[in-house]
Chains A and B, each alone.
Chain A
Amino acid sequence: MGTARYIARRLIFSACLILGVSVILFAMINAIGNPIEILLAERPGMTDEVIESVSRYYGLDGSVTDRYFTWLWAILRFDFGTSIIYNQPVSEMLVTYGLETLKIQIPAILIALVVSVLISVMAATRQYSRLDFGVIAGAMLGHSLPGFFIGILLILVFSYWLGILPSYGAYSTRNMLMNSTLIDGLWHMVLPVGMLVFFNTATLTLLMRSSLVEVLRQDFITAARASGLPERRVVFGHALRNAFIPVLTYLGILFGVMLGTAPVTETVFTWPGLGALYIMAIQQLDYPLIMGETMIITFMLVGATLLTDIAYVAIDPRIRLA
């Protein structure tokens, strides 16, 4: 079967890709130098013996290749070592912080998808109308606004002026809303999700609208109308599925990189997610954390790309896997 072979081949290719990323990542981190020296050498009263013993403790005394394979073997067992700054296992942190990021990213992408489909249909079926130009202008503006701006605006309106939504964190520290962890969590999600929805919707609408305008011009749309199908069926059944094909790539990437793409949102709303953690890890040179996150994001992106390619076959019969 062609599809099974295709997927097997892609899986092998993906494994090679991830391996390649791991080599480059390790080489780059190694090029920065011994983290122990960087972190401890400047401290007063530091002796060579201490540095040496701490280096040995972290396994930094071996050769580069030895250390790479030790690390590779460890990450294959989902062991990314211990964070230098937080003194916690990186794998645990990736899961805890990762889940918090997914909690705002997945709903944000899905909501944005639905909203942008509806807006795109309204705009594309009235091409060059005032509504259409309004949508294009709005989407362009939303696409180009700096991220923090909308976040701060949301906090100003809903937290400061109206006082109805929390401005930071994923949970209340003292009293849960309605004494329910679920409701309290959802309550905290509203603003960060809203901010992500805003940006995703802007970009997806730009893509989807132009794709839909293109498809609505096709002969088969006129032919579908000529066969008496109701307009709603023509647009949602015949046009949208074709219009979705070019959007799929972007959507795949959006899902693929979602673990690392919300640092601004997470920073503005003090959300305990991977994006903000990544920035912090880089600022503080927390090597195991940087490497762990990079590998997880690579893994997600490669997986999402593979899924996107498979989804193409499902949505467009002209594409055959080979």
Chain B
Amino acid sequence: MHEGSIPIVNAMSDPAAAVPVLEVSGLRTRFGPLRAVDGVSFAVAPGETLCIVGESGSGKSTVALSIMGLIPPAAGRVEAGSIHLAGHGELRGLADAAMAAIRGRAMGMIFQEPMTSLNPVFKVGTQIAEVVRRHQGMSRAAAHDRAVELLRLVGVPSPQMRALDYPHQLSGGMRQRVMIAMAIACDPMLILADEPTTALDVTIQAQILALIEELKQRLGSGIVFITHDLRVVAQIAQTVCVMYAGVVVESATTRALLRTPLHPYTSGLMASIPAAQPRGTRRRLPVIAGTVPNLAKLPGGCRFRSRCPKAFDLCAEVEPPLAPPAKGDPDRLVRCWLHADGVAA
């Protein structure tokens, strides 16, 4: 498949989902010599949760920051590709001020670290109200009321009082709820969640996932959910993109991907989920050997081949295209010679 084309992976039969809220195609983001994102394409429909999965350094957070236009200009830039947001058109190349007007209004972002993502010197209610005032031009009092209402919506108990708290007075789970309240303050059509549960306790994780799901139903927004945890994917996503070293290596519906992972990297990720084992049958948890290659000097051929148990000659020579597998579901995409047409493996 060519870089510029847009593979829309959408298994939902809902016809309303046909017009995506977000279409990303051929996205390339560089940090100096580092090609952090190297031609990524996907689309998200309203009410759909798309998970981007990958280990640290796979470029998944960079995708989110690129969409938001938050790549620090001193560090890197979005080199190529298109980011199309329904109702706002092409985002790439928009002026800073125009981009700032869209951020927080049409798309909201939830961050990984609730402990450090709120400004320590302002009350949480003030921080939420500031977003509302910025985008909806409300009065101070109306914005404060709206902030309290948002806190109630995200399940913060006694929101009237909590709105007057400073971030350090709240627990991690509560802070993440505040972050979510800020992200959805203006009913965005797109929510980007960058590992929003990674820093939280397991019980709190489940609550936050349920909250995000509930808000999605209520707002009908599309969600791009970034995680490295396939168990989270199983819980919330309709579609999944697996990223490795800056490219999508596999994308499919959650059900299809979890049932029959095609790419050796996806299989590796699934095998390394610890499961309860009966006594006496304990075995070492399989791991994917090695680490993500240096993105500044990628070798030719398949990016995963140095860690791939099934690599063969062709993998070292030519990078496989992201294409439907030769056999099986034509709606899925995989970047692997094992599944390419006419290649015997």
Residues of chain A whose beta carbon lies under 8 Å from any beta carbon of chain B: 126-129, 218-220, 222-231, 233, 238, 241-242, 315-318
Contacts and interface: CB of A to CB of B under 8 A. Distances in A.
Contact of B120 (A126, A224, A242): A242
Contacts of A225: 70, 100, 103
A229 B119 CA distance: 13
A35 B185 CA distance: 75
Interface string B124-154: 0000001100110000000000000000000
Contacts of A219: 111, 113, 116-117
Interface of B: 68, 70, 74, 96-97, 100-105, 108-109, 111, 113, 116-123, 130-131, 134-135, 166, 168, 179, 182-183, 185
Contact of A223 (B97, B102, B117, B166): B117
Nearest to A227: B104
Task: Report, nearest first, the 6 A-B pairs whose CB atoms are least far apart.
Answer: A228-B104, A227-B104, A228-B103, A219-B116, A226-B109, A317-B166
19 contacts: A127-B74, A218-B116, A219-B113, A220-B116, A220-B120, A222-B117, A225-B100, A227-B131, A227-B134, A228-B134, A229-B130, A242-B120, A316-B120, A316-B121, A317-B120, A317-B166, A317-B168, A318-B166, A318-B168
A265 B48 CA distance: 69
A237 to B, nearest CB: 8
Contact of A230 (B74, B100, B113): B100
Contact of A126 (B70, B74, B130, B185): B74
Nearest to B123: A317
- Which residue, A127, A220, A229, A241, has most C-beta atoms of chain B within 10 A? A220
Nearest to A316: B121
A226 B183 CA distance: 8
Nearest to B166: A317
Nearest to A223: B117
Contact of A315 (B109, B121, B131, B134): B121
Given A126-B74, A317-B121, A318-B166, A230 B116 contact: no
B100 A228 contact: yes
Nearest to A127: B74
Contact of B118 (A223, A231, A233): A223
Contacts of B113: 219
- Which residue, B102, B130, B182, has most C-beta atoms of chain A within 10 A? B130
